[in-house]
Amino acid sequence: MKRKLLLVALFAAFAMVLSSTVAMAAPILIKFSHVVAENTPKGKMANKFKELVDQRLAGKVEVEVYPNSQLFGDNKVLEAMLLGDVQLAAPSLSKFKKYTKKLQIYDLPFLFKDMKAVECFQQGPKGQELLMSMKNKGLIGLGYLHNGLKQLSANSPLRVPADAKGKKFRIMSSDVLAAQFEAVDAMPLKKPFSEVFTLLQTKAIDGQENTWSNIYSKKFYEVQPYITESNHGVLDYLVVTSVEFWMGLPDDIRTELKKALDEAIAYGNQVAAEKAVADKKKIADSGRSEILTLTDAQRQQWVDVMKPVWKKFEGEIGKDFIDAAVSCN
């Protein structure tokens, strides 16, 4: 009898310890690091994701969002992710070349006619295949997020390719983008996003390429008197995590997180479409920068000199991927 009582007491004590351990278990921490301002498609998407997780997984998962390169710049964030120092990021698709050459497709100049074509490719079989193109390097793409089409800004008007000759342009860390500017005899310089404003302001560089929302939110238009509405390329994002973190999550949590992420991305895409119009208008209204519209003949000149870049990268990207993208136009 005494032994039985002792066993019951031991069992009760064990149960108490176990339940208090479970109750006290720290929530899973997700650090979401990005480089842009909060008032951008990516900034708003990240905050929406946090809001949804706070509502649905309170006490189980905690999301901390670090905007404006506060935690990591894009050049370091993927290494940090593989070390477990950050769990989510959404670098521009131009910033993955160390991990896969396939995503270079998104940098090919004049590949997509508009954002509808980009969406068609991303949601099609080839675009979806690319989400997993870095799995063997430890990274998984969880979804694409739009920002929009890129424009050229400079300290002098750029109407035809010859206007860019000899000028220094900041680019993201992409060999395709380097080739694109070399095709117009310009000088591309790979620099982190966090340095662009100062480089432009001090005239260490002459120009850059970016979307309306980045040009507006980072005030590039205040230090670039001309913006050519070239729509020559796309700047979109891959929401990325590490295989180790993602596959290590309990199944139910992973499912909920993916659902929240998909909803946040859909919201971010809506913001991107609105900002492409609204931020362009704010820049035009500011009077700080003149927006140049190309004639069809001028635009064709840019297409003619830049499009040969495709051939150079076709081997690394795969012709089947390029053909699938073109078929979306």
Q: Given the rule CB under 6 A, which residues bind ligand SIN?
A: 35-36, 42, 92, 147, 172, 193, 210, 214, 235
Residue 257 CB, shortest distance to ligand SIN, in Å, is: 22
Residue 147 CB, shortest distance to ligand SIN, in Å, is: 6
CA distance 296 to 202: 34
Nearer to ligand SIN, 42 or 126 (CB): 42
Nearer to ligand SIN, 36 or 61 (CB): 36
Residue 317 CB, shortest distance to ligand SIN, in Å, is: 20
Phi, psi of 170 (to 5 degrees): -75, 135
Residue 170 CB, shortest distance to ligand SIN, in Å, is: 8
Q: Is 37 exposed, middle or buried (CB count within 10 Å of its CB: 0-12, 13-18, 19+)?
A: middle
Nearest CA to 233 out of 151, 165, 299 is that of: 151
CB 167 within 8 A of CB 160: no
Burial profile 85-115: b = 16 or more Cβ within 10 angstroms, e = fewer: ebbbbbbbbbbbbebbbbbbbbbbbbbbeeb
CA distance 195 to 200: 9
Residue 172 CB, shortest distance to ligand SIN, in Å, is: 5
Residue 148 CB, shortest distance to ligand SIN, in Å, is: 10
Nearer to ligand SIN, 47 or 61 (CB): 47
Nearer to ligand SIN, 195 or 244 (CB): 195
Phi, psi of 157 (to 5 degrees): -65, 135
Residue 59 CB, shortest distance to ligand SIN, in Å, is: 31
Q: Which DSSP state fits 275?
A: H
Nearest CA to 217 out of 69, 8, 25, 68 is that of: 68
CB 142 within 8 A of CB 254: no
CA distance 249 to 247: 5
Residue nearest ligand SIN (C-beta atom): 193
Nearer to ligand SIN, 92 or 153 (CB): 92
Nearer to ligand SIN, 183 or 235 (CB): 235
Nearer to ligand SIN, 36 or 160 (CB): 36
CA distance 61 to 44: 19
Nearer to ligand SIN, 253 or 273 (CB): 273
Residue 163 CB, shortest distance to ligand SIN, in Å, is: 21
Q: Is 48 exposed, middle or buried (CB count within 10 Å of its CB: 0-12, 13-18, 19+)?
A: buried
